[in-house]
């Protein structure tokens, strides 16, 4: 590990090397990019033992620091997780190349032909914490979209990330692509993150934070380059007065309980008072029976004695756990107003058999993903058919919702003329 005094120089070199590599990558063939990714996958399989050994060192250090079970689970690799990483890379190689897509093409009255063509974004910084597999999937997604990447792994997974990164480097070299196309910050020094947030002298075009709320909040607050951030998923399910109860139970159960720790998991249930007499108690019972703690308003409390009282803070909380807040609302207007006030513009859903109510909800709720009669756990790049994603953006610029390969590109205008001049 290097001395802190060396950090600025190391980071500047990393940025410059990535910029140079990005230029070469933007012109690389689909075949070369796919070969690099497939060779990386092959290397990851071949070096499973090394990767697991490196991971064991990270795990030992984490245990020594007294890290918790959830932390250790994010950090841990085993043979099947390494195999899943290799398979993930193969899936990315199999996706269509997003670079060069013709997004628009038209001819002007003066005969100029104008095309809008997808091009890589440039250099993408990825700052993540304790999941070593991000090294492989973020690196490969950036590469497939013709971008250079600078990866900054949390110090807790430094050995694992380094071992995985070695496989990516070997893949790039086998394909004749510059090794600097996927850079890994080689210092533990936290000042490296600050230098990335400052943009590495113009050599970073966008930053993707992948980690907990405090990391994402710091990146959003301090970054001087654009950020694809997803701060949190404060996801609502609205049970409209015209909801089918059985459908509602099935959707709510899945939206809350399938996996409670993902950003598309439901956190708040809003029930229209017009259907509360028939729908509220069965929904609450189903949730509690499934092992979910329910924190509700007075009407919800009246529906089941096991309901705990919700505080104002509950409407603002992304539990990421087997807990849900439940509130009865006067009507659809009040449901939409609640979401506008407390939501995080990630994913929100209405359950209803009334097409007009659904249309109003989908139109008026200002979230990246608005759903009708489907589980919010579908908020996922894979489920959207993107093949893979680097995260789900809750910002409004450039990428919104799942950030897949297409969202990792920008575009240019190509204009062909035959000597036209402007009058």
Examine residue 416 and tell whether it contacts a copy of itself (CB under 8 A).
yes
Which residues make Cβ contacts (< 8 Å) with residue 245, sequence separation at least 6?
Answer: 278, 279, 282, 283
Show Cβ contacts of residue 188 under 8 Å, excluding neighbours closer than 6 positions: 1, 155, 158
420 near a copy of itself, judged by CB under 8 A: yes
Residue 204: CB partners within 8 Å, gap ≥ 6?
15, 18, 123, 124, 125, 150, 196, 225
In terms of Cβ atoms closer than 10 Å to its own Cβ (0-12, 13-18, 19+), residue 418 is exposed
Query: Which token pair is 192?
Result: 């490296």
Q: Which is nearer to a copy of itself, 40 or 365 (CB)?
A: 365
For a copy of itself, the closer CB: 114 or 302: 114
* Secondary structure class of 232 (helix, strand, coil): coil
The nearest distance, CB 323 to a copy of itself, in angstroms, is 20
Provide the minimum distance between the beta carbon of 240 and a copy of itself in the complex, in angstroms, as a whole number: 14
Minimum distance from residue 88 beta carbon to a copy of itself (Å): 19
Handedness of CA 195, 197, 203, 209 (dihedral sign): positive
325 vs 413: CA distance, rounded Å: 48
Q: How far is the CB of 170 from a copy of itself (least distance, A)?
A: 28
Residue closer to a copy of itself (CB basis): 158 or 207: 207
Strands 113-120 and 102-107: antiparallel
| 224 near a copy of itself, rule: CB under 8 A | yes
Residue among 15, 88, 98, 122 that touches a copy of itself (CB under 8 A): 122
Longest dimension (CA), the chain: 80
Residue 26 or 322: the one with the smaller Cβ distance to a copy of itself is 26
Kindly state whether residue 288 participates in binding a copy of itself, applying the rule CB under 8 A.
Answer: no
101 near a copy of itself (CB under 8 A): no
Nearer to a copy of itself, 5 or 397 (CB): 397
Q: Work out whether 422 is an interface residue with a copy of itself (CB under 8 A).
A: yes
Q: Ramachandran region of residue 46, left (φ > 0), alpha (ψ -120 to 50) or beta?
A: alpha
Residue placing its CB nearer to a copy of itself in the complex, 122 or 301 = 122
Please select the residue that binds a copy of itself; options are 46, 191, 290, 415, rule is CB under 8 A.
415
Per-residue x/- track, 337-356, a copy of itself (CB under 8 A)? ---x----------------
In whole angstroms, what is the distance from residue 147 CA to residue 13 CA?
A: 17
Q: At 344, list the tokens.
A: 């995080």
Of residues 121, 187, 307, 339, which one binds a copy of itself by CB under 8 A? 121
> Which CB, 176 or 417, lies closer to a copy of itself?
417
- Our CB check for a copy of itself shows the closer of 51 and 283 to be 283
Task: Between 268 and 347, name the residue whose CB sits nearer to a copy of itself.
Answer: 347
**221, 277, 291, 312: residue in contact with a copy of itself (rule CB under 8 A):** 221
Q: Does 198 bind a copy of itself (CB under 8 A)?
A: no
Does residue number 414 form part of the binding site for a copy of itself (CB under 8 A)? yes
Dist CA 412 CA 119 (whole Å)? 7
Q: Quick one: 271 exposed, middle or buried, by C-beta within 10 A (0-12, 13-18, 19+)?
A: buried
371 phi, psi to nearest 5 deg: -125, 150
Measured CA to CA, the distance from residue 231 to residue 65 in angstroms comes to 27
Q: What's the rounded Cα separation, in Å, for the pair 319 and 268? A: 10
x/- mask, a copy of itself, residues 366-405, rule CB under 8 A, reads: xxxxxxxxxx-xx-x--xxx----------xxx-xx----
Contact (Cβ atoms closer than 8 angstroms) between residue 254 and residue 380: no
Among candidate residues 194, 209, 214, 231, the one with its CA nearest the CA of residue 367? 231
Decide if residue 2 touches a copy of itself (CB under 8 A): no
* Whole-angstrom distance, CA of residue 115 vs CA of residue 102: 7
Residue range at the interface with a copy of itself (CB under 8 A); choices 46-54, 221-229, 286-294, 296-304: 221-229
Q: Write out the residues near a copy of itself by the rule CB under 8 A.
A: 23, 26-27, 106, 108, 112, 114, 119, 121-122, 205-206, 221, 224, 226, 244, 247, 250-251, 253-255, 258, 340, 358, 362-364, 366-375, 377-378, 380, 383-385, 396-398, 400-401, 410-422
């Amino acid at each position: 590990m290097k001395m802190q005094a060396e950090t600025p120089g190391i980071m500047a070199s990393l940025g410059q090397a990535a910029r140079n590599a990005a230029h070469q990558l933007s012109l690389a063939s689909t075949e070369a990019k796919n070969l690099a990714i497939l060779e990386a996958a092959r290397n990851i399989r071949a070096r499973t033992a090394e990767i697991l050994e490196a991971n064991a060192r990270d795990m030992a250090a984490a245990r020594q620091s007294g890290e918790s079970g959830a932390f250790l689970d994010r950090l841990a690799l085993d043979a099947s997780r390494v195999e899943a990483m290799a398979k993930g890379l193969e899936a990315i190689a199999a996706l269509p190349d997003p670079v060069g897509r013709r997004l628009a093409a038209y001819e002007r009255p003066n005969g100029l032909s104008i095309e809008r063509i997808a091009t890589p974004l440039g250099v993408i910084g990825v700052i993540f914490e304790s999941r070593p597999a991000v090294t492989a999937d973020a690196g490969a997604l950036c590469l497939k979209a013709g971008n250079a990447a600078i990866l900054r792994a949390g110090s807790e997974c430094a050995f694992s990330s380094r071992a995985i990164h070695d496989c990516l480097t070997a893949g790039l070299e086998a394909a004749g692509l510059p090794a600097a196309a996927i850079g890994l910050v080689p210092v533990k020094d936290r000042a490296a993150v600050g230098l990335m947030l400052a943009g590495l002298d113009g050599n970073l075009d966008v930053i993707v934070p992948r980690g907990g709320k405090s990391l994402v909040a710091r990146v959003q607050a301090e970054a001087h380059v654009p950020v694809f951030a997803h701060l949190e998923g404060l996801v609502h399910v609205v049970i409209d007065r015209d909801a089918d109860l059985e459908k509602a139970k099935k959707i709510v159960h899945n939206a809350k309980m399938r996996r409670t720790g993902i950003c598309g998991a439901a956190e708040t249930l809003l029930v229209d008072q017009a259907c509360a007499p028939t729908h509220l108690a069965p929904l609450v019972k189903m949730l509690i029976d499934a092992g979910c703690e329910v924190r509700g308003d007075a009407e919800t409390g009246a529906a089941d004695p096991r309901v705990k009282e919700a505080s104002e803070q509950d409407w603002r909380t992304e539990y990421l756990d087997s807990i849900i807040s439940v509130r009865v609302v006067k009507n659809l207007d009040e449901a939409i107003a609640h979401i506008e006030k407390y939501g995080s513009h990630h994913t929100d859903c209405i359950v209803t058999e009334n097409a007009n109510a659904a249309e109003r909800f989908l139109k008026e709720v200002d979230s990246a993903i608005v759903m009708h009669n489907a589980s919010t756990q579908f908020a996922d790049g894979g489920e959207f058919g993107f093949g893979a994603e680097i995260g789900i953006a809750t910002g409004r610029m450039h990428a919104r919702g799942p950030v897949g390969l297409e969202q990792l590109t920008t575009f240019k205008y190509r204009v062909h003329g035959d000597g036209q001049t402007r009058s």
